[in-house]
Structure 1
Amino acid sequence: MDIARRWFGKLRLKEKHKPSSKKESTPTGKEGSKSPLNEEIPSAATKQKVEAAKQYIEKHYKEQMRSLQERKERRNMLEKKLADSEVSEEEQNNILKYLERKETEYMRLQRHKMGADDFEPLTVIGKGAFGEVRICREKSTGNIYAMKKLKKSEMLRRGQVEHVKAERNLLAEVDSNCIVKLYCSFQDEEYLYLIMEYLPGGDMMTLLMRKDTLTEDEARFYVGETVLAIESIHKHNYVHRDIKPDNLLLDRNGHMKLSDFGLCKPLDCSNINEKDFSVGNNYSGALQSDGRPAKPKRTQQEQLQHWQRNRRMLAYSTVGTPDYIAPEVLLKRGYGMECDWWSLGAIMYEMLVGYPPFYSEEPLSTCRKVIMAFSLTCAIVLGCNCLVTSK
């Protein structure tokens, strides 16, 4: 290091005292004036890439230093415990060498880049719009997993990239025993792979088809576990939007776990007020000629502000299964996390009665029944409010 410093010092000194052989000239041929700089100013995209690379490198080395510090602390703690115990010095060295070897193997596994070749594909258990789910076996350990294989070109063509990102982020963020676990994810040029927990107990739809109805105790047990699952994703500001018996899976011990987060959506709930979802506050007290409540009149500026305020807090897409879809989803007036609780109520009804509450042979007829029930409920609530106000 000292040799390199002396060498650079001599180089700077030579450059400083070196006489200039040629005079600087401008493109027009005039001597004595400096030539304009030909360096291009970096674009905003380049600056963003540089900043992202800088943050990535800083984060990487911070994690490396933190990991090294934690390893040193663990080693010191272990040496103190071995010194306090009645163990010979030779046995202490053997224990330390064994643990060092185990930690080295673990770190090597962490650096290993997973790929589709590490898994042996088995039976296909489900197919979707742009992918499939199949059982697979990890070649190194023999463990069984569920591999979700998604075709990238179809995801781009159907505009489902954000949904897939939201699903992956939710599975990575939420640590709950009531939802399916994500072990790892990787990709190649054509497919995206999600390696998830395999649940051999089937789904709630199969259970209902086999038993027709459940007892109150059974329904209470499964609904309670589903409530915990929904609450765990709501705490992270995600709405599932597709709660149905097909997505409630059973593990080998009969416990319920929520799956299929392809339609989930992250919501910004930091500024949501109760009036955003209250029926009484969404309508004025006046009624139209047909008896329906009249919408409050807003100016164009107020409508724009309302949309800008709610576009990140509410969802507007009509998604879900008609038998379990919430009315606010169908009305396209904006909805939040409450739509998942409506779906759970419909599932609980089906568990006890044997069919969904608004079932019809035609999906459009089912949607009409849902909206009609919602309209009647609004009329009853508004009627009760009018009676209380008059008294």
Structure 2
Amino acid sequence: MGSTLTMEKAKAAKKLIENHYRAQMKNIQERKERRWLLEKQLASSDVPEEERMSLIKDLEQKETEFMRLKRNRMCVNDFELPSLGDELMVQLCREKKSGNIYAMKKLKKSEMLSKGQAEHVRAERNLVAEVDSHCIVKLYYSFQDAEHLYLIMEYLSGGDMMTLLMREDILTEKVAKFYIAQSVLAVESIHKHNYIHRDIKPDNLLLDKSGHMKLSDFGLCKPLDCATLSTINENESMDDSSRDSMDIDATLPDAGNGHSWRSAREQLQHWQRNRRSLIVHWRHYLKFPEDAKLTFEAKDLICKLLCDVDHQLGTGGAEQIKAHASFKDVEWDKLYEMEAAYKPQVNGELDTQNFMKFDEANNATPSRSGSRPSRM
């Protein structure tokens, strides 16, 4: 009896060791493949040698940091969570050890598998882990338990662009230009790593407490190599969910101005209901009222973004947009160092007032008091 038990323990230990080293070898091989792929992509591009070495070094640093995080086994018990229930996909949390505040994204494994979202989640995690940019919401930790996958993200207390648009109704040309410029940098940063976002919209443009914007929600992002990026299927390239084009209908002069909304929910539903019509049928809906007082450059920029894809500004890269006359006074390399064009009201690190609140009656209220975030 004792001999049989000893044999079973030895067999289990052997299996554990074999699985461990098999996983280690797989990680090493995947790490080599990622470096080889990056070197191959850089070799076929016009990137200067100094920048190539910097990108390779940056990848190695990320790989080392990733391995360090894997060794530091974390779980949900390492965080304090407010009692907000299980219905929220994203909620605030505080790391017990450091006291830092984060946004915890909680994904149910069974739903991910049933909806075929596993690859999307993997791409999302890889993107935020790989892209080290002040334009992108940062991922700090990822771990899982039997039922859920957890992503511990940077918490941006300034809210999202949709809430800002609903509060302000119309942004000044100066403020709009500032956030369009930061959006360009954000999209450019993920394109440089050969990903496309496929879900660019005001809801996914978040503001930090100082008012600077970062891109979030990479659940629909897609990794592409350089060859694939230029040969996307024609049907896919024209699909709303596949193109990294800005949803700017909420900022158009006639997209909500002059209406008296009974509730923020009604206003939001109106924008969502008419979004497709306003982008797709821009020839009919795009008008510039005289009292809008837009500069010629701003009108020209809007027209060159809202046009057939063959003539659309930016199809040749971000530099096309940066070179537009509307941005002639923009210092692109200092956008995240200068004071933001808009300063959100933030009262403390746990403040959620800048996110839309949905109560049980299904009414949305972009309130000025502390509220529960529905998205971050």
TM-score, structure 2 normalization: 0.51
Q: Distance in 1 between matches of 2:309 and 2:207?
A: 40
1:145 and 2:145 matched:
no
Q: Distance in 2 between matches of 1:151 and 1:191?
A: 5
SS at match of 1:114: coil
Equivalences for residues 28-107 of structure 1 within 5 A: 53=23, 55-56=25-26
User: Which residue is 2:239 aligned to?
Assistant: 329
Which string of whole-angstrom CA distances, capped at 9 and with x for unpartnered residues, describes residues 185-204 of structure 1? 00011000000000111111
> Does structure 2 conserve the Cα–Cα contact (< 8 Å) formed by 1:120 and 1:136?
yes
User: Which residue is 1:195 aligned to?
Assistant: 152
Q: Distance in 2 between matches of 1:52 and 1:202?
A: 44
Equivalences for residues 150-165 of structure 1 within 5 A: 150-165=107-122
Aligned pair in 2 of structure 1 residues 244, 233: CA closer, same or farther (>3 Å)?
Answer: same
Per-residue deviation at 1:54? Answer: 6.6
Per-residue deviation at 1:141? Answer: 1.3
Identity of aligned residues (%): 55
User: Which residue is 1:39 aligned to?
Assistant: none
Aligned pair in 2 of structure 1 residues 245, 134: CA closer, same or farther (>3 Å)?
Answer: same
Counterpart among 93, 105, 116 of residue 76 in structure 2:
116
Per-residue deviation at 1:258? Answer: 0.6
Which string of whole-angstrom CA distances, capped at 9 and with x for unpartnered residues, describes residues 306-337 of structure 1? xxxx5xx44866xxxxxxxxx8106xxxx96x
Aligned pair in 2 of structure 1 residues 212, 185: CA closer, same or farther (>3 Å)?
Answer: same
Counterpart among 215, 226, 232 of residue 258 in structure 1:
215
Counterpart among 177, 185, 188 of residue 231 in structure 1:
188
Which string of whole-angstrom CA distances, capped at 9 and with x for unpartnered residues, describes residues 112-141 of structure 1? 3111000011265996xxx61010011111
Per-residue deviation at 1:237? Answer: 1.2
User: Which residue is 2:166 aligned to?
Assistant: 209
> Does structure 2 conserve the Cα–Cα contact (< 8 Å) formed by 1:123 and 1:134?
no
> Does structure 1 conserve the Cα–Cα contact (< 8 Å) formed by 2:255 and 2:271?
no
Aligned residue-pair number? 227
User: Which residue is 1:218 aligned to?
Assistant: 175
Counterpart among 233, 240, 255 of residue 355 in structure 1:
255
Aligned pair in 2 of structure 1 residues 315, 125: CA closer, same or farther (>3 Å)?
Answer: farther
Q: Distance in 1 between matches of 2:142 and 2:309?
A: 49
Unaligned regions of 5+ residues in structure 1, if any? 1-48, 63-106, 274-309, 318-326, 382-391
> Does structure 1 conserve the Cα–Cα contact (< 8 Å) formed by 2:250 and 2:271?
no
Measured on the aligned residues, the alpha-carbon RMSD in Å equals 4.1
Equivalences for residues 310-329 of structure 1 within 5 A: 310=231, 313-314=232-233, 328-329=238-239
User: Which residue is 1:183 aligned to?
Assistant: 140
Which string of whole-angstrom CA distances, capped at 9 and with x for unpartnered residues, describes residues 233-267 of structure 1? 11111111111111111101110011011111112
SS at match of 1:113: coil
Per-residue deviation at 1:355? Answer: 2.5
Q: Distance in 1 between matches of 2:21 and 2:72?
A: 27
> Does structure 2 conserve the Cα–Cα contact (< 8 Å) formed by 1:229 and 1:257?
yes
Give the structure with higher Rg (CA): 1
Code of the residue aligned with 1:118 in structure 2: it is D
Unaligned regions of 5+ residues in structure 2, if any? 1-18, 33-66, 258-267, 285-305, 312-376
> Does structure 2 conserve the Cα–Cα contact (< 8 Å) formed by 1:215 and 1:352?
no
> Does structure 1 conserve the Cα–Cα contact (< 8 Å) formed by 2:196 and 2:223?
yes
> Does structure 1 conserve the Cα–Cα contact (< 8 Å) formed by 2:169 and 2:256?
no
Per-residue deviation at 1:378? Answer: 5.8
Code of the residue aligned with 1:351 in structure 2: it is T
SS at match of 1:148: strand
Q: Distance in 2 between matches of 1:360 and 1:111?
A: 45
Aligned pair in 2 of structure 1 residues 315, 142: CA closer, same or farther (>3 Å)?
Answer: farther
> Does structure 1 conserve the Cα–Cα contact (< 8 Å) formed by 2:81 and 2:94?
yes
Moved more, 227-236 or 369-378: 369-378
Code of the residue aligned with 1:353 in structure 2: it is P
Aligned pair in 2 of structure 1 residues 158, 175: CA closer, same or farther (>3 Å)?
Answer: same
SS at match of 2:227: coil
Code of the residue aligned with 1:113 in structure 2: it is R
Code of the residue aligned with 2:82 in structure 1: it is L
SS at match of 1:353: coil
Q: Which has the higher helix share?
A: 1
Q: Distance in 2 between matches of 1:379 and 1:57?
A: 41
User: Which residue is 2:297 aligned to?
Assistant: none
Which string of whole-angstrom CA distances, capped at 9 and with x for unpartnered residues, describes residues 338-380 of structure 1? x21x32xx42x533526289x9959787546644558996699
